[in-house]
Amino acid sequence: MKLTHYYSTSDRYVLNGAWNKICKERVLQVNDKVGLYWDPADHALHFSVRQRAFREDGVA
């Protein structure tokens, strides 16, 4: 996954590439909370699932 296109007017970046793959691999669903952290030491974007949303099937 690459960070591309920084928009200075809104102070935002755009994620391109493997986002759909990450969502499928991590079984992400609507309202799951994720964390993103840019580590300047290793020039890498770290990703983690912070909280799973409640699901009607009881899976959290």
Of 24, 19, 10, residue with least CA distance to 47 = 19
List, for residues 13-60, the tens digit of each pLDDT value. 667 667 788 888 889 999 999 988 888 888 777 888 999 998 776 655
Q: What distance in Å separates the CA atoms of residue 9 and residue 49, rounded to the nearest whole number? A: 28
Please work out, in degrees rounded to the nearest 5, the angle formed at the alpha carbon of residue 24 by the alpha carbons of 56 and 43. Answer: 125
What pLDDT score was predicted for residue 60?
55
Domain ranges, ordered by start, for the chain: 2-51
Count Cβ atoms below 10 Å from residue 50 Cβ, excluding itself.
9
The pTM of the full predicted model, rounded to 2 decimals, is: 0.58
* Eight-state DSSP code of residue 54: P
Count Cβ atoms below 10 Å from residue 20 Cβ, excluding itself.
9
